[in-house]
Amino acid sequence: MTRPCVLVFAGLDPSGGAGLSADLQAIAGQGVHALTVCTALTVQDNDRVFGVQPVAAELVLRQARALADKIAISAVKIGIAGSAANAEAIAGFITWLRQRCAGETPVVLDPVLASGHGDLLSRDDAALALAPLLPLTTVLTPNGPEARTLSDATRPEAQAQALRARGCRHVFITGGHGDDEEVINRWYGPGAPREWRWPRLDGAFHGSGCTLASALAAQLALGLPTAVALEQAQHYVFHALRDAYAIAPGQRIPLR
């Protein structure tokens, strides 16, 4: 039996709560296999990021090409690129991959600009570094603060409109950073907007955005329509957060 594969570009989190570890677990949780390309080494625990060392763009490309030369890639998930040079290299790789496959390989971009405490996750301006990736993105999954930073707009509708104008086919704005009793996730695509409402869970979680984007990429790799993939990924994340566990004081780890 073979499984579809998601190619992941993300950083290594030594705490195992976010980044490549979270991506691998969430993708495996959908019955899909993760191919993990490391874009940056980080110094962090389950709460704070103390340092980021980008992997050289050439080495990022070598990792991806070695995998793509042998293994069929059904979707791509991008977390932190680590540097503007890496973002450019990843954009070039995706263009090459789609040309070679003669198809629209789905790309899910989690535009991680900073940790939950505001610690930076790129050597360069993270928002500016994402520019070459946005036109290649099938689904962009920003949280509220990320959507505001990337769009310079305050209302979700205006944020989505600005980001879709930059080339993103679908924009899925998550509401986990609010303080209402419900988490409202909003999807903006070629059709009418749609929203989902979820009970807000107590506490904070490490790697929730990684979990959502990776689960979504895996669902798309299985060939599901975007609406169904979004629905399934959200159900998976809600249960992972509901059953999250602690490894130390601070943010809990989703049970992926």
Q: pLDDT averaged over consecutive 10-residue blocks of the chain (256 residues)?
A: 96 96 98 98 94 96 97 97 94 96 90 64 71 96 94 94 96 86 94 92 94 98 97 97 96 96
Say if CB 79 and CB 109 are below 8 A apart.
no
| C-alpha–C-alpha distance, residues 251 and 187, integer Å | 27
Q: What is the pLDDT of residue 246?
A: 96
Q: What is the pLDDT of residue 103?
A: 77
| C-alpha–C-alpha distance, residues 170 and 162, integer Å | 12
Q: What is the pLDDT of residue 35?
A: 98
* CATH level 2 (architecture), domain 5-242: 3-Layer(aba) Sandwich (3.40)
Q: What is the pLDDT of residue 181?
A: 85
Angle at CA of residue 254, ends 253 and 255, nearest 5°: 115
Beta bridge partners of 140: 109, 171
Say if CB 236 and CB 208 are below 8 A apart.
no
pTM of the model: 0.95
| C-alpha–C-alpha distance, residues 178 and 81, integer Å | 26
Q: What is the pLDDT of residue 104?
A: 87
Q: What is the pLDDT of residue 10?
A: 97
Q: What is the pLDDT of residue 122?
A: 60
Give residue 167's region: left, alpha or beta (phi > 0; psi -120 to 50): left
Q: What is the pLDDT of residue 115?
A: 56
Burial of 208 (0-12, 13-18, 19+ CB in 10 A): buried
